[in-house]
Amino acid sequence: MLACWFQVDRSTITRAVGQIRPLLADRGCRVEGGLRLRTLADVIAHLGATGQTAMMDATEIRVRRPSAHRGGRSRFISGKSRINAMKSLVVTDERGRPLFCGEVRAGSVADITQARDAGLVDLLADTIGLQILADAGYQGLAARTYGQVVTPPRKRRGKHLEHLQWLMAHHEAARFAHSSARVPVEHGIAHLKNWRALADTTPDETTCPTPSEPSPDS
């Protein structure tokens, strides 16, 4: 990724890192080893083995508008923000530390479709007792993952419910509690954007660059 950003060869970055790390180590700046989670499968396996609760969300990265004569340029327009964007899937732990950031798709792709294309349903089929908190954009995955993807209760509407004030109050309290529990993933996404880990790029003709996945101990 650094080689792409600075438009140099990978070996140049590797050599520079090899020269700088000993200098930093001599001054007390050490990078801990820890576990490296490189794929979504690695993340799910790690969470299942440790019994941690994770948070999942998708974030949009604004990109330059594709060329006028390019086919399918409208698929990069996000239906939510009305901008040309790419969408990245982010998974964090309970403290908001990013565990995975990738599976980049065009902005018009729905959040739940992106998660399905990433193979999340199949990965959770081999895991027991894992909970992933997600927003309303992932409603429908709970049934396919045996409740391992937890989404807020659906909004209740209808005139026949207006007189059941206690039920509506309880329902809204449950939605608020779920939203509050998901705050760490928003902090994790903000951390990635503050450090420009999700860079503005022009959509590629065939695929999109996937950001590197930091370790849970970073």
Q: Are strands 131-133 and 98-106 parallel, antiparallel or unpaired?
A: unpaired
Phi, psi of 87 (to 5 degrees): -115, 130
Across the beta sheet with 53-62, what order do the strands follow? 98-106, 85-92, 53-62, 131-133, 149-150
Residue-level pLDDT at 71: 74
Residue-level pLDDT at 212: 41
Residue predicted with more confidence, 213 or 103: 103
CB-based burial label for 149 (10 Å; 0-12, 13-18, 19+) = buried
CA distance 152 to 50: 24
Of 1, 66, 56, nearest to 210 (Cα)?
Answer: 1
- Judged against a pLDDT cut of 60, whether residue 156 lies above it is answered with yes
In contact, 209 and 104? CB cutoff 8 Å: yes
Three-state DSSP at 85 gives strand
pLDDT tens-digit profile of 161-181? 556 777 778 888 998 999 999
Q: For residue 136, what are its two tokens?
A: 């309303």
Residue predicted with more confidence, 123 or 215: 123
Residue-level pLDDT at 66: 77
- Judged against a pLDDT cut of 70, whether residue 150 lies above it is answered with yes
Q: For residue 124, what are its two tokens?
A: 């959770």
- Of the chain, the end-to-end C-alpha distance in Å amounts to 18
Quickly state the pLDDT bin for 1 (edges 50, 70, 90). confident
Averaged pLDDT for residues 48-68: 89
Task: Count other Cβ atoms within 10 Å, centred on residue 190.
Answer: 12
Q: What is the rounded average pLDDT for all residues in the chain?
A: 84
- Judged against a pLDDT cut of 80, whether residue 197 lies above it is answered with no
pTM score of the predicted model: 0.74
pLDDT tens-digit profile of 89-143? 999 999 999 999 999 998 899 999 999 999 999 999 988 889 999 999 999 999 9
Quickly state the pLDDT bin for 77 (edges 50, 70, 90). confident
Of 87, 32, 128, 83, nearest to 210 (Cα)?
Answer: 87
Residue-level pLDDT at 216: 46
Phi-psi region of 140 (alpha: psi -120 to 50; beta: other; left: phi over 0): left
Residue-level pLDDT at 161: 58
Determine the Cα angle at 216 with ends 214 and 218, to 5°: 65
In contact, 101 and 193? CB cutoff 8 Å: no
CA distance 112 to 118: 10
Averaged pLDDT for residues 68-72: 75
In contact, 63 and 83? CB cutoff 8 Å: no
Residue-level pLDDT at 133: 96
Cβ contacts of residue 153 below 8 Å, gap of 6+?
A: 171, 174, 175, 178
